[in-house]
Structure 1
């Protein structure tokens, strides 16, 4: 066996070889095979829509005893394959897509975030945070920065994870431990963030659309889970810190660093021009936030509703959350870009927006089919029937609330092994979970919070996650023989700990009655 082959067989547990015939590797291989056989999410939504059409035709003549929770009338299934229904579908296809709630809010938020990312502003902030961190706080700071990097969508995967390895290596620690800590924060703690980001209105849009299958009047705030995700930062940082320093790094102690030193990335310090640009950008951001607060404070503020409330659904402040996220990133991003020379003229700013929108092209295609599926699912009446019957079954089982919640989290975590996209997965599950749990008193806000826990925790152990192979490449810069099995075995302790402890934390958080977020509740109605 060559040195590379020997290294390839080495795992993270002190260099012991990984048995390719072990049940762990067989299970991982099975997950990979099954996942690869699943159709693309966009095609999956198309298949599901056709399936809904077929079932609506088959069940349209069946009488059901279940009653609509809002009207009290018997639930009837509408035949979507009738001439009238197909004509309605075709004539409303464009407006169904353009009116899809998550589409506009995500694209608007991403315009601002994209400018901040393309200008280098977000990268500079992350470097600064890590550069001023004392050695003893290196691990928690890497994890915290990784969590905050969710704001810039892909920045965590392409910047923070490799930077974690660089920083640990420069500090005389094992670089794979730094990569593991950063990966745990970026992907395992994906739903833990105290900084609002595009993922908040994205998930809220799917949740609201699903809740309106049962109650057309339901309105949800884009930051309906903000308080919980902010508090979750502490859980993820503390868990990740302990696991990295006490479990992962000791197991890596005997794993030889055999990468080519010339190819190992080096952390570059910011130049004076970049530091100056960062100072001015942060000052501009702070001034903007201060001005917004000053605008909100007076009781006569235009950002308040007619009764003087800031947090009501009718308040302009709440309706402006997505535009405020846009401004929060685009203004300091433009300042940073011009001061560093990244932006030389106004066209450069527009080009950065265009580049960001280019990266959203797949999401737009998926959103088209998803919008059609959700609309047809709701129009058929199948969603309401499933919600009422499923809710009745849950009520008859009389399970304690925490057990039901934990079951949802575990189910989402399992589905996450096969469907990596957070938006695609929630678009698929929300029309089922949200209305069903509304029938037993769970609010859409609480169901969404449970989904976020399950969705995040298993990201780091599925080879089907789009960035998983990239993280393997990052590891191979230091340890040539790193493979999928090596990375999965290294991240498994984080995944299990996050899934269990974060789930318990949500139940405790719920039991105490702490707020989930803005205008959020735990119960329905």
Structure 2
């Protein structure tokens, strides 16, 4: 098996047609945009100017968070600017994706530097058929939702490493993993913290109209679990038949010393891998043993390991750090790639060096998101869009499709799934209840729309990180490259997944535990 995807790329034929030309245009235009950091500086300035211009207008809508009339807050006022600059350090330091990425990358960096990840992938590829790599990567991405944001820092870069090591184009692996982790965010076979979080918000929205409404935290579980198979199949076809052939023309020009290879492993490396995997297994068993008792400190106030606020859920990123650091060190010592403690620190240092550009981008993203949230522009957009949808008075299936599409569009401006639903649920849920549509179905429609545009909006906090992952292999990668690469997934997912939801509804299949389609 060749280790160089360029050999395969030379023989591949890129599909022709209007779709490919359109994607090429999107990529070309997108890559002509300023550097992502400059782009977010420009967006920050735009928020300041728009907030000033729109702060003088009365909109006649009520802010569901306060019950008061919504006003756009002028971010150029003395009070707002003083708050902006006085909180700048805190805004950056407390920006959630930064800590998640850096802590996880410290452990992963050691495991990569010592050769553990490369050896593990080599062993995995020895037992996995090359044609099954795509669905495997997408499926692992979907399952990673259980571990909060772990998929962004673990599964997506490994998708590129796995494809590259197998002789396939690494950007196709990153695309497949990104599609599973983010595009299929609402598809999962295993319940996660997002399920009770969204259901709780939906229940609060429903109780605006009916104080007696109580929703099960897993009210969408059967639908999201069955959607996992749909996303895997769609992502498999799109990756292998459309995205990867198009990427054949993208020459790999990354630093060869930093890219994984597929050389033969010696006995010392195989012994190191065995010991490393045993150490990881022992650590996982120890974790399970301490989490199993009902009195475990890992459990939340309600006694669950997965409920919001449970220490286990909060420790996911730290556990990723530990569960890669430990086998990485064990492998390095056994295989001879770690001669002293300095080698371990060197692995962490190299991982942080690779994150320098990401940190610069994150600084400006954090400031933009702060100003955008403080201005209320995102809230205004969400409320006005929902009001326009309500005014249309569409039939049930078209209304549900409209909820999906509106959420898909709003996701370009308000990224957080929970924050966005906290804004929309008090509008969507009571509105559709008056049409006889249950909060369970409304929430399912929201989840489809929320997932499918994550992968094409540069405002999603982890989007620049995906650009950085791609630049490791193709240095010319920009926002346009990733957007064009992911657009086929987004469009296909939102169309087919919406049709799947409507068919699911028409057949009367159970949405989840104690869930209904009709209200009243």
Aligned-partner Cα distance in 2 for 1:288–1:381: 46
* Mapped pair 1:80 → 2:78: no
Question: How big is each residue's C-alpha offset from its partner over 1:228-284, in whole Å with a ceiling of 9 and x where there is no partner?
Answer: 998766445545667899x78xx99xx9xxxxxxxxx99433221111111111111
Go from structure 1 to structure 2 and tell me whether the alpha carbon gap of 1:107 and 1:468 turns closer, same or farther (over 3 Å shift).
closer
> 1:371 — aligned with what?
366
Go from structure 1 to structure 2 and tell me whether the alpha carbon gap of 1:145 and 1:91 turns closer, same or farther (over 3 Å shift).
closer
Of 372, 376, 379, the residue aligned with 1:381 is 376
Of 351, 358, 361, the residue aligned with 2:353 is 358
Question: How big is each residue's C-alpha offset from its partner over 1:295-317, in whole Å with a ceiling of 9 and x where there is no partner?
Answer: 11111111123443323323222
Of 128, 131, 135, the residue aligned with 1:139 is 131
Alpha-carbon RMSD across the aligned residues, in angstroms, is 4.9
> 2:167 — aligned with what?
165
Question: How big is each residue's C-alpha offset from its partner over 1:121-146, in whole Å with a ceiling of 9 and x where there is no partner?
Answer: 2222221122124xxx4411464257
Aligned-partner Cα distance in 2 for 1:79–1:266: 54
Of 176, 184, 187, the residue aligned with 1:185 is 176
Go from structure 1 to structure 2 and tell me whether the alpha carbon gap of 1:294 and 1:32 turns closer, same or farther (over 3 Å shift).
closer
**TM-score between both structures, scaled by the size of structure 2:** 0.65
Do the aligned residues in 2 keep the contact of 1:243 with 1:494 (CA within 8 Å)? yes
Do the aligned residues in 2 keep the contact of 1:193 with 1:229 (CA within 8 Å)? no
SS for the counterpart of 1:440 is helix
Question: How big is each residue's C-alpha offset from its partner over 1:97-124, in whole Å with a ceiling of 9 and x where there is no partner?
Answer: 1122222122112222222222222222
Runs (5+) with no aligned partner, structure 2: 1-8, 142-150, 186-191, 206-219, 249-259, 430-438, 459-465, 476-480
Aligned-partner Cα distance in 1 for 2:407–2:234: 19
Question: How big is each residue's C-alpha offset from its partner over 1:66-94, in whole Å with a ceiling of 9 and x where there is no partner?
Answer: 11102211122222212222222222211
> 1:100 — aligned with what?
95
Of 400, 403, 407, the residue aligned with 2:401 is 403
Q: What's the CA shift for 1:40?
A: 2.2
Do the aligned residues in 1 keep the contact of 2:156 with 2:174 (CA within 8 Å)? no
Aligned-partner Cα distance in 2 for 1:74–1:35: 38
SS for the counterpart of 1:78 is coil
> 2:157 — aligned with what?
154
Aligned-partner Cα distance in 2 for 1:426–1:334: 40
* Mapped pair 1:11 → 2:13: yes
Go from structure 1 to structure 2 and tell me whether the alpha carbon gap of 1:276 and 1:83 turns closer, same or farther (over 3 Å shift).
same
Q: What's the CA shift for 1:28?
A: 4.2
> 2:39 — aligned with what?
44
> 1:323 — aligned with what?
318
Q: What's the CA shift for 1:291?
A: 1.1
Runs (5+) with no aligned partner, structure 1: 1-6, 167-175, 195-200, 216-224, 256-264, 416-424, 474-484, 516-521
Go from structure 1 to structure 2 and tell me whether the alpha carbon gap of 1:85 and 1:187 turns closer, same or farther (over 3 Å shift).
closer
Q: What's the CA shift for 1:391?
A: 2.2
Number of aligned residues = 426
Of 266, 269, 285, the residue aligned with 1:271 is 266
Of 310, 322, 334, the residue aligned with 2:329 is 334
